[in-house]
Structure 1
């Protein structure tokens, strides 16, 4: 049985991946903030990347597949991922790195595909690119780079934020000229499960197959949550449509693993 090790398994995405995979693989994960559940579950291991080196955990657990869904200090994440790369090379194992559409945020005129050149104006995007570039030097079978758009889902941090802002009577900041795609957490975990099962290699773009203006998408989310007339603050950073979307062209998944914007809305707002 493959041993899976999820870095950041106490977070929203990492924990959903743990729940998806733990019945099929010997699945372990890390947590940072202590609580009774994680401390009593022997599959979870405390890890503070700012003060600890991940090499100790890797040597003790010897995972076959590492999934990185870490959050926190960019410098600490970079150092952690370079330690992981050393482990991959030493034992011929694999890393699945959850990256972001922001690695393309300097490009505005079209959606981005798997092997397009990355270029970012944001600190976050450049940090993701630094780790991606290190992984791209590895043999293909030793990594997956999964570029994600915004991840929604029932109880997701983004849905909670929308509800909180509306409940406070504050306007939601929206971008009428930004064209995006999105995804939903349950579909994402199924996609990752498939990639592991089939030993797929390379770079994947795991967003919805269709695109939408960001304001229209947020409006649909609000209406699905029962907020018929949300207060919006429209932000225009361009006179023209600007794309921040990741679409697949070379590495496509089966149709049953595709998702549409309306499916994202429905899954994120269902009771």
Structure 2
């Protein structure tokens, strides 16, 4: 049985992955902030990347696959991922790196595909690119780069934030000229399970197969949640449509693992 270590398994994406994979693999996870559940579950391991070296944990566990869903200080993340790369080169294991559509946020005229050149204007996007570039120098069998757009879901932080803002009577910031795709957490976990099972290699874009304007999407979410006439604050950062979307071209998944905008809305707002 393959041994999997999920970095950031106490977070939204990491914990959903842990729940998806734990019945099929010897699945372990890391947490930073102790709770009774994490500290008493022997599959979870405390790790603070700002004060600890990940190689100690890796040498003790010897995972076959490391999934990085960790968040936090960018410099600490970069150091941690470079240590992971050193480890997987010595042990012939694999790193699955959860990246972001923001690695393309300097390109605004069209959607981005798996092997398009990356270029970002944001600190967040440039940090992701630095780790991606290090992975792209590895043998194909030793990495996956998985780029995600905004991830929603019934209990997702984004849905909770929308509810909180509306409950407070504050306006929701929306971007009428930004064209996006999105995804939903349960579909993401199924897609990653498939990638692991089939030992797929390379770069994957796990967004919805269709596009929409960000404002239209948020309006649909609000309607699905049952909010009538929420306040919106339109933010225009361009006179033209600006794309921030990741679509697959070279590494497509089976049809049953694809998702549409309407399915994201339905899954994120169902009672």
Q: Give matches, 1:134-145, under 5 Å.
A: 134-145=134-145
Q: Which segments of structure 1 move beyond 6 Å, counting only runs of 4 or more?
A: none
Q: Distance in 2 between matches of 1:115 and 1:13?
A: 24
Tell me the equivalent position of 2:176.
176
Structure 1: state its 5+ residue gaps: none
Tell me the equivalent position of 2:243.
243
Q: Give matches, 1:23-42, under 5 Å.
A: 23-42=23-42
Q: Quote how far apart the aligned CAs of 1:114 are.
A: 0.2
Give the match's secondary structure for 2:78. Answer: helix
Q: Distance in 1 between matches of 2:114 and 2:36?
A: 41
Tell me the equivalent position of 1:190.
190
Tell me the equivalent position of 1:92.
92
Q: Distance in 2 between matches of 1:43 and 1:53?
A: 19
Q: Quote how far apart the aligned CAs of 1:136 are.
A: 0.1
Q: Distance in 1 between matches of 2:86 and 2:32?
A: 23
Q: Give matches, 1:151-230, under 5 Å.
A: 151-230=151-230
RMSD in angstroms over aligned alpha carbons?
A: 0.3
Q: Distance in 2 between matches of 1:10 and 1:243?
A: 31
How many matched pairs? 271
Q: Quote how far apart the aligned CAs of 1:223 are.
A: 0.4
Q: Quote how far apart the aligned CAs of 1:214 are.
A: 0.0
Q: Give matches, 1:5-84, under 5 Å.
A: 5-84=5-84
The farther-off stretch of 221-230 and 127-136 is 221-230
> Per-residue displacement from partner, 1:198-233 (whole Å, max 9, x unpaired)?
000000000000000000000000000001211000
* TM-score, with length taken from structure 2: 1.00
Q: Distance in 2 between matches of 1:79 and 1:270?
A: 40
Q: Distance in 2 between matches of 1:154 and 1:16?
A: 12
Q: Distance in 2 between matches of 1:229 and 1:3?
A: 49
* TM-score, with length taken from structure 1: 1.00
Give the match's secondary structure for 2:159. Answer: helix
Tell me the equivalent position of 2:252.
252
1:146 aligns with 2:146: yes
Q: Distance in 2 between matches of 1:139 and 1:229?
A: 52
Q: Distance in 2 between matches of 1:198 and 1:258?
A: 16
